[in-house]
Chain A
Amino acid sequence: MAERVLITGLGMVTAIGDNVAGNLKSLRMQQSGIGFTQHIDTIYKDSLPVAEVRHSTATLQEMAGVAGKDGYTRTTLLGLIAMREALADAGIADASEEPTGFINASTVGGMCDTEKVYFDVINPEKEGNFLQYIDTLDCADCTQRIADTVGISEYIATISTACSSSANALMFGARLIRAGLVRRVICGGTEALTRFTLNGFNSLKNIDKQHCRPFDQHRNGLNLGEGAAYLVLESESLARQRHATVKAELKGYANTNEAFHPTAPSPEGDGAFAAMQQALAMGGVAPEDVQYVNVHGTATLSNDLAEGHALQRLFGNKVPPFSSTKPFTGHALAAAGGIEAIYAVLAIQHALIFPNLHFSEKMEELYITPETQLKEGVPVSNVISNSFGFGGNNASLLISKYEG
């Protein structure tokens, strides 16, 4: 029998908080992190809202424990801050003591820094300090820098499946544990805002000039965000052996593909439906035992329609409370799955359901509406966390209260 996979540590940084406690506080106070960028050089800095981590790169270096050291991109620094918190939270003083895996996720690697120097890099006339950023463009750079800094070396991987990347990282890590290849894996993702990505989504006409309004009839696109989030996954036997505090169990997961369109889901939400259904089946949890769904809910026209249909198909007329937390954090792409997996754990730990901000009018195609109020004191045992991406990639996680 495969080992159960437990969550024993959490670490994160987003536009609404420098750590898990800060995020929880902002969620409770219903304080959004969406505003305008201080750090990207773009003509849209005053017109397209983003959820940016407000610290300068120098401050992030300090927070990440690498003050004054060059060569760390913003992507790496955000990741390192989240990684250090996750390790500390799990009570791991030295990551190298136990053979540990690190499954990271990234959509554009160190583009945040390389895009600023790219045209110097390709210009033979230019020489200088920027050369140290040459090899930070790919997605492996941030993973290896983080792993090397904290001493992880057993399994190293980076996943990139667009907006579902870190949910897939959690899934792959859990499967390594269940296969008995390793007893501890740290999984999640890191994402820094870039001009490249902002223009990419803007060219797809997917960005709202206002704060995003998931599941609203008048929604008009997403707001991008940045941040990083990692979860420490451990086999049940390792967690017991070292008397770790178990925060939740990763009980089920599934990855399916739409095979419908490169950047849009099927209107009926076939992939989302299959992913949620399979994750529940794996965890042996019936739909009526799900107390909360943290939806992907990007507020694009097509995502919310597809995901809404999938919810209605799966839960019928008993759709549990659901909300998108992207009006708080923006859509942090490769980090989103990790961020929202942590929010799922917080919902279980603190008996909370988070509100879906900026909702005012039901979508005409659906009969369901998201939770708009913060609900406290609600027992939450099973949460579905959805992450869907380009290339038809759908990932659903089932995060459950641990009952040993």
Chain B
Amino acid sequence: MSAISPQHSFGENVFSQPLMTVSENVFACVEPDYRAYMPPNSIRRMTRILKVGLTAALQCMQDAGITVPGAIVTGTGKGSLSDTERFLKEIREYKETALNATPFIQSTYNAVNGLIALQQKCTQYNNTFVHRGFSFENALLDAMLLIAEGNKDILVGAFEEITAEHFYIKSRIGFWKKEKIASNELYQHPTPGTISGEGAAFFLLSDTPGEVQLSGLKMVYKPKESYLQKFLASHELNLEDIDLVISGRNGDSNFDHYYDGLPNELPFKHLCGEYDTSGAFALWLGAQILKAQQVPANWFPMLTVPAGPYKNILIYNHFFGEQHVYMLLTLNTGYLK
């Protein structure tokens, strides 16, 4: 697995990295050195989220020792916003004539998928899900189905960017906090709206057991009541069996009530901000914690971190109250490399 995020999640020694914070209510990724992953002309030609997505995917495969995956499945809520914005502007500016096709092509939601397939010569199954807080999770479900259907080594991931323009657009309908806050104080500001973010994370799903097993996944659309007990019961677990709940709490007083009453809670949005596919960062974080049996020491100074050992980790995240997701990670007998 691999993650490019607003934290130093991409390199070595994740567990000793300092906490990165922002005070403008919007996070940006710490971008890696792309030169190790693609030729200079690609670095020039490709927009930021394409590079971030492709690099995270390539590093994930490198980590897993896989060159050509059995399938490539991704999720993204918004795709390359930069390219969409650029093409909209160029249509207007050049009055629909002599347009450069590149931003149009790169704005296509499956552009990153196509690039990964092209670069790795992967001619197998290739799919892209674009559904807000279910984008990554549908990709994950698709990948799990592919494994169940007998395929091997499925590359699954998500990527998302925020631009200044889109940050402004969403501020007009109340997505972000009106007051500027320090990101490390996110949970002390229960006011309407949250802080914005971005990131990419990729995973290789294997059909042979590894250290971390993705034991459960459930998407619940606009639930009328909590699905938590049903989800746990479907895995023959009680709340007491859960050592850590990674929650999507984001300081938004409109929607944070869904997270109330969770035991052993460890919220993560002060690390990456809110975005459609933040669930992929949560899965990356959960898998890291499970593997290392420790929580990144510097990343949660404002919280009392639930003590290990960690055997069962529940991830519960929702996107502005509409798409709710439960994921269960279990130590030892698993599928994530």
Contact = CB atoms under 8 A, between A and B. Distances in A.
Partners in one complex: yes
Interface of A: 42-44, 106-107, 115, 118-119, 121-122, 124, 131, 134-135, 138-140, 143-144, 147-148, 153-162, 168, 172, 175-176, 179, 195-196, 199-200, 202-204, 255-263, 270-271, 274, 389-393
Contacts of A203: 99-101, 104
Contacts of B113: 161, 391, 393
A144 to B, nearest CB: 7
Nearest to B95: A43
Which 6 pairs show the lowest CB-CB distances between chains A and B? A391-B114, A200-B104, A160-B109, A203-B101, A203-B99, A158-B131
B180 interface: no
Contact of A199 (B99, B109, B165): B99
A257 B130 contact: no
B145 A392 contact: no
Contact of A158 (B92, B129, B142, B165): B129
A161 B118 contact: no
B contact residues, range: 35 or more
A140 B130 contact: yes
Nearest to A2: B149
B237 interface: no
Contacts of A392: 114, 117-118, 126
A140 B132 CA distance: 6
B123 A274 contact: yes
Contact of A162 (B95, B110, B172): B110
Contacts of B117: 257-259, 391-392
A261 B92 CA distance: 28
A160 B78 CA distance: 11
A393 B116 CA distance: 12
Interface in B51-106: 72, 77-79, 87-88, 91-92, 95-97, 99-101, 104-105
A391 B110 contact: yes
Contact of A255 (B118, B120, B127): B127
A274 B125 CA distance: 11
12 contacts: A122-B169, A138-B130, A140-B135, A157-B138, A160-B110, A195-B96, A200-B104, A271-B123, A390-B111, A391-B113, A392-B117, A393-B114
B20 interface: no
Contacts of B125: 255-257
Nearest to A168: B127
B96 A199 contact: yes
Nearest to A158: B131
Contacts of B88: 115, 118, 196
Interface string B235-268: 0000000000000000000000000000000000
A157 B131 contact: yes
B322 A144 contact: yes
Contacts of A263: 105
A50 B10 CA distance: 46
A175 B145 contact: yes
B234 to A, nearest CB: 12
Nearest to A198: B96
Given A121-B172, A153-B221, A390-B110, 9 more contacts: A138-B77, A158-B130, A159-B127, A159-B128, A175-B149, A179-B145, A195-B96, A202-B96, A391-B115
Nearest to B76: A160
Given A140-B77, A158-B129, A200-B104, A122 B110 contact: no
